[in-house]
């Protein structure tokens, strides 16, 4: 047997990445996208694969596109639709288009000519029409006018972006200038001819969300006669808009608002099997912006809705999926560092776990067969089929050969007493979760350095998952014990825990991280002279916060990736409308309150060496945040290093840039690691 070895960055990028599967109507096959990356070419590509739920080897379905994705099986089972940019009939797609292919193979056919591109889509029950999303100029009528405008806009020489909108950028891109997201109806053509397209929202005030409109924002009724969708009724669209639900008759175009409450944000509508009920997620934003998304159901006969999961202290993730009997729904939800698939029974309003994570990221169900895709801290995503009364069946083995060569670190979940959300001198600390990943071949008789990997959010709750940008196994393979603390504010531990940090960012989180460090320092296998902390986004905020609050010397070095540094200057981000809700005030109304939550206010205390990383295309945390932090450290004479990417966003997505990121990351830690220096001298 070949000797196993620690994982490397090249291994991480060699792993193939599975998307969410779609099941055939009979449940016998699933189709999923599979992405692979080339370090040499510095890019990725994806294709579609068929996976039998009954057994047998996966079969590749598509080859002609660079990024074939989002596949969905037609209701008849005779076609699979997907989005892609391809070259066909001598023309290369400017924007992603909708393609269809028979499951037994053959050539994929471009289903329509949509100049403004195709994003999310759903089949109509008859299997000969689809509803899809496209960003269009709302004042123009017809596809020809849209195509003419798109061509002129693409060929223009000006580069300026002009807007009067409150919401004009999202994460890493400017929203299409002057365009909004509309639903369209596509009737498939015969014999591969492009189909007829109709803008369902033409001449109406309706549009979908401007924040990644997708499958969670609309649904098609079981009889194919209606579409339900989420829309923002406010005249001015803002990132924190509260959405309502409306239903359109596809034949007449008539629209009826069915659920609207100014206090609630509603999304994720799904018809039940007979079309008489619509399930959706509802967040009571009038109470607080951190309120969870709860499961709600609208009854057609009563024209009334109810929050059915109000007593269940979990955040419901969309998409929702009705069981065939219409008495229960399936969805994903987090719980204590893991994401499970749940079934919520409507008659008794009870939730139970159907499939346990790890971290499940997608699922589908048809004809009694359930498929899930999920990963864990010990393996990348895998797809399983689940049939009642039978053990789960693995449907693929794409990464098994590579993973079998790797020696991974042991993963341990521990709990300790952290901060007390209630406060007070006599208050006992709350229970806080920490995930530890140990180096391969860990020997408890030896001492190891510790690397805190502080998660972003702040309202996320990572734990038992496989991450491609902050991979704990890859960090541990460098010889570190990696600690991931689910500090106060993290999701998956109940609403009170999540909301506890609101209006006092940094306070409880720091107490939790420091309590975790104290816990680790008591372990005989931890070298207290070799402690490090790193984090991205809100985790980057945390290490900058620590630099201003933790005495120098406790940590040898920090790594701050895309970190929030100054909350006043952060008003340039794409989420500005949440600032007062999160911090307790607008910066012009109470500048002192805002600044007391800004790392920049404590720059005079900063002395710990820091690697600062940022991308110029980051609109969630604009790169001026990282540059200001770096410049401050240099001005103060603190050892600092800057890694800035002109072509990356909030994440580092290109393989070669990822390699550079990791090289700088590991080199920075080693440079400030007294153990590494001792080893170099010993040589």
Specify the pLDDT at position 67: 87
Domain extent at residue 476: 411-682
**Are the beta carbons of 440 and 6 closer than 8 angstroms?**
yes
**Are the beta carbons of 141 and 202 closer than 8 angstroms?**
yes
Q: What distance, in Å, lies between the first and last C-alpha atoms of the chain?
A: 32
> Rounded to an integer, what distance in angstroms lies between the CA atom of residue 221 and that of residue 87?
34
Whether 2 is covered by a domain: the verdict is no
Residue 668 φ then ψ, to 5°: -65, -45
> Rounded to an integer, what distance in angstroms lies between the CA atom of residue 382 and that of residue 398?
9
Whether 7 is covered by a domain: the verdict is no
Whether 282 is covered by a domain: the verdict is yes
CA dihedral sign of residues 466, 468, 470, 476: positive
The DSSP output letter for 175 is: P
Whether 146 is covered by a domain: the verdict is yes
> Rounded to an integer, what distance in angstroms lies between the CA atom of residue 526 and that of residue 145?
67
**Are the beta carbons of 298 and 245 closer than 8 angstroms?**
yes
Q: Report helix angle 507-521 to 538-549, nearest 10.
A: 70
Contacts of 123 (CB under 8 A, 6+ apart): 72, 74, 75, 81, 129, 130, 220
> Rounded to an integer, what distance in angstroms lies between the CA atom of residue 629 and that of residue 560?
9
Domain count for the chain, please give it. Answer: 2
Structure tokens at 348: 């008794």
Alpha-carbon dihedral 111, 114, 117, 123, rounded to 10 degrees? -40
Nearest alpha-carbon partner for 309 in 290, 296, 320: 296
Residues 398 and 416 in one domain: no
Residues 234 and 271 in one domain: yes
Residues 391 and 442 in one domain: no
Specify the pLDDT at position 680: 59
Half-sphere exposure in the Cβ direction for 138 (13 Å, CA)? 15
Residues 323 and 466 in one domain: no
Whether 4 is covered by a domain: the verdict is no
Domain boundary among 403, 428, 463: 403
CATH code for position 198: 2.120.10.30
Residues 294 and 273 in one domain: yes
Residues 274 and 415 in one domain: no
The DSSP output letter for 386 is: E
Specify the pLDDT at position 89: 75
Nearest alpha-carbon partner for 491 in 232, 347, 655, 290: 290
Residues 657 and 576 in one domain: yes
**Are the beta carbons of 572 and 565 closer than 8 angstroms?**
no
Residue 84 bridge partners (DSSP): 97
Residues 399 and 472 in one domain: no
Assess whether the previous peptide bond of 520 is cis (omega < 30° from 0): no
Residue 539 φ then ψ, to 5°: -65, -35
| Cβ burial, residue 1 (10 Å; 0-12/13-18/19+) | exposed
> Rounded to an integer, what distance in angstroms lies between the CA atom of residue 534 and that of residue 450?
11
Structure tokens at 66: 């660079």
Specify the pLDDT at position 152: 96
Residues 437 and 343 in one domain: no
pLDDT mean values, one per 10 residues, the chain (683 residues): 90 98 98 96 96 95 87 97 89 93 92 95 96 97 96 95 95 94 95 88 97 96 98 96 98 97 98 98 97 98 97 98 98 98 98 97 98 98 95 97 98 97 78 98 98 96 92 98 98 97 97 98 98 98 98 98 98 96 97 97 98 98 98 98 97 97 98 79 57
Whether 50 is covered by a domain: the verdict is yes
Domain boundary among 403, 424, 458: 403
Specify the pLDDT at position 461: 87
Kindly report the three-state secondary structure assignment for every residue of 56-95.
Answer: CCCEECCCCCCECEEEEECCCCCCEEEEECCEECCEECCC
Residues 94 and 240 in one domain: yes
CATH code for position 480: 3.40.50.1820
Residues 72 and 208 in one domain: yes
**Are the beta carbons of 84 and 110 closer than 8 angstroms?**
no
Specify the pLDDT at position 88: 80
Whether 8 is covered by a domain: the verdict is no
Q: How many helices (H) and strands (E) does the chain have?
A: 12, 41
Could you give the C-alpha distances from 564 to 191, 514, 548, 614, 621, in angstroms and in order? 54, 20, 13, 11, 6
Whether 223 is covered by a domain: the verdict is yes
Residues 504 and 423 in one domain: yes
Domain boundary among 352, 368, 403: 403
């Amino acid at each position: 047997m070949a000797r196993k070895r620690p994982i490397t960055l090249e291994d991480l990028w060699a792993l193939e990445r599975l998307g969410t599967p779609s099941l055939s109507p009979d449940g016998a096959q699933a189709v999923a996208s599979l992405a692979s990356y080339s370090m040499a070419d510095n890019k990725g590509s994806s294709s579609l694969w068929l996976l039998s739920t009954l057994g047998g080897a996966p079969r590749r379905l598509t080859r002609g596109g660079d990024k074939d994705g989002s596949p969905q099986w037609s209701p008849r089972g005779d076609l699979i639709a997907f989005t892609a940019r391809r070259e066909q009939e001598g023309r290369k797609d400017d924007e992603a288009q909708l393609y269809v292919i028979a499951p037994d193979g053959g050539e994929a056919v471009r289903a329509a000519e949509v100049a403004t591109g195709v994003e999310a889509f759903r089949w109509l029950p008859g299997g000969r029409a689809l509803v899809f999303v496209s960003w269009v100029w709302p004042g123009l009528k017809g596809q020809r006018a849209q195509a003419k405008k798109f061509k002129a806009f693409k060929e223009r020489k000006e580069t300026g972006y002009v807007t009067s909108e409150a919401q004009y950028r999202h994460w890493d891109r400017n929203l299409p200038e002057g365009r909004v997201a509309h639903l369209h109806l596509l009737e498939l053509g015969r014999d591969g001819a492009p189909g007829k397209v109709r803008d369902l929202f033409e001449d109406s005030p309706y549009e979908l969300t401007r924040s990644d409109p997708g499958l969670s924002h609309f649904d098609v009724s079981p009889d194919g006669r209606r579409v339900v969708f989420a829309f923002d009724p406010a005249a001015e669209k803002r990132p924190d808009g509260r959405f309502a639900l409306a239903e359109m008759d596809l034949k007449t175009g008539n629209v009826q608002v069915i659920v609207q409450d100014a206090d609630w944000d509603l999304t994720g509508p799904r018809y039940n099997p007979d079309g008489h009920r619509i399930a959706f997620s509802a967040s009571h934003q009038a109470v607080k912006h951190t309120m969870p998304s709860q499961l709600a159901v609208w009854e057609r006969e009563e024209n009334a809705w109810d929050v059915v999961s109000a007593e269940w202290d979990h955040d419901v993730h969309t998409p929702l999926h009705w069981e065939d009997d219409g008495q229960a729904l399936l969805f994903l939800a987090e719980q204590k560092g893991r994401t499970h698939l749940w079934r919520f029974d409507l008659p008794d309003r009870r939730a139970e776990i159907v499939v346990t994570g790890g971290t499940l990221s997608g699922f589908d169900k048809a004809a009694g067969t359930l498929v899930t895709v999920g990963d864990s801290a010990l393996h990348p995503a895998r797809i399983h089929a689940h049939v009642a009364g039978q053990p789960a069946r693995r449907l693929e083995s794409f990464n098994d050969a590579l993973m079998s060569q790797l020696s991974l670190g042991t993963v341990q979940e521990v709990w300790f007493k952290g901060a007390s959300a209630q406060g007070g001198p006599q208050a006992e600390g709350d229970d806080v979760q920490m995930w530890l990943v140990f180096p391969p071949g860990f020997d408890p008789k030896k001492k190891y350095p510790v690397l805190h990997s502080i998660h972003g959010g702040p309202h996320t709750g990572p734990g038992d998952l496989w991450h491609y940008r902050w991979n704990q196994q890859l960090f541990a393979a460098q010889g570190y014990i990696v600690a991931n603390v689910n500090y106060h504010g993290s999701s998956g531990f109940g609403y009170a825990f999540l909301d506890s940090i609101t209006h006092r960012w940094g306070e409880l989180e720091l107490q939790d991280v420091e309590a975790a460090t104290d816990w680790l320092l008591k372990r005989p296998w931890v070298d207290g002279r070799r402690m490090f902390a790193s984090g991205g986004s809100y985790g980057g905020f945390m290490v900058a916060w620590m630099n201003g609050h933790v005495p120098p010397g406790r940590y040898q070095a920090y790594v701050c990736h895309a970190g929030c540094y100054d909350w006043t200057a952060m008003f340039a981000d794409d989420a500005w409308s949440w600032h007062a809700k999160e911090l307790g005030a607008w910066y012009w109304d109470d500048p002192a309150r805002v600044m007391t939550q800004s790392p920049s206010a404590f720059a005079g205390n900063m002395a710990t060496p820091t690697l600062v990383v940022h991308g110029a295309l980051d609109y969630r945390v604009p790169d001026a945040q990282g540059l200001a932090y770096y410049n401050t450290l240099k001005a103060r004479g603190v050892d600092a290093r800057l890694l800035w990417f002109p072509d990356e966003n909030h994440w580092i997505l290109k393989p070669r840039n990822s390699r550079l990121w990791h090289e700088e990351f590991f080199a920075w830690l080693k440079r400030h690691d007294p153990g590494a220096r001792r080893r170099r001298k010993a040589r």
